[in-house]
Copies of this chain bind each other. A is one copy, B any other.
Amino acid sequence: MDVNPRKIPRQARARATVEAILGAGAQLLAEHGFESLTTARVAERAGVSIGSLYQYFPNKQALAAALIDHYGEALAAAFRQRWRGHETLAGAVDAMVGAALVSHPHGPELHRALNELAPRVGRAEKNKGISARIAGIVTMVLEQHRHEIAADLNLADAAALIETVLETVSHRAIEHHPVTPDSASMASHCRRLIMAYLTNPAPR
């Protein structure tokens, strides 16, 4: 299945069309999921004709892949800008948890939908790459506070685990998990979880 763009927009008008299509696709994907995402509905919401959509995206999967690429980059960029300049490890962890809890620039539904979608449109690696980049950022932050972290902890492994925890906990917090009292408490427990893990050496 060819997933490459059929034609690149040259005029400003065409770029606006593509933007409108991507925006409409993101909205509908977040609202109703992929199985009820139809090319006709996307075109309608975008305010363009179905023909215009197929001029830039050869098929429905290509549209989905474009959405994953477009909003995945936005997510990683949003995360990168939130961890700079913290003097202490506690401050950096605070920032990371805070970032995870708010860093869904286009809503958690869209984030989840794109995650589910990626492996079905040949973009599994792309999405894993985003996670890996965020884990890389976390690794860098941890390195800056190496002296506060248990010496026997491998930073790359720890960063991968923390990235996983951050992503999921943020999802759960936002969807009001029944056993989770509220987001503030969740964030506080999450901070404590990560700090305890980082600063205490393995027992025995």
Main secondary structure of the interface of A (DSSP, over half): helix
- Taking CB atoms, residues of chain B closer than 8 Å to A131 are 177-179
Shortest C-beta distance, A41 to chain B (Å), equals 14
Mask for A187-202, Cβ within 8 A of B = 1, else 0? Answer: 0011011011101101
Interface readout for A41-75 with B: 1 if CB under 8 Å, 0 if not? 00000000000000000000000000000000000
Query: Once the chains bind, are B164 and A169 in contact (CB under 8 Å)?
Result: yes
* Residue A28 is within 8 A (CB to CB) of chain B in the complex: no
**With an 8 A cutoff between CB atoms, is A181 at the interface?**
yes
Could you list 25 examples of A-B contacts with CB < 8 Å?
A35-B35, A116-B116, A131-B178, A131-B179, A132-B178, A136-B179, A157-B181, A157-B185, A157-B189, A158-B189, A159-B179, A161-B186, A161-B189, A161-B190, A161-B193, A163-B179, A164-B168, A164-B169, A164-B172, A164-B177, A165-B165, A165-B168, A192-B197, A196-B200, A200-B200
Closest 9 CB pairs of A and B: A35-B35, A168-B168, A160-B179, A196-B196, A193-B197, A196-B200, A196-B197, A135-B179, A132-B179
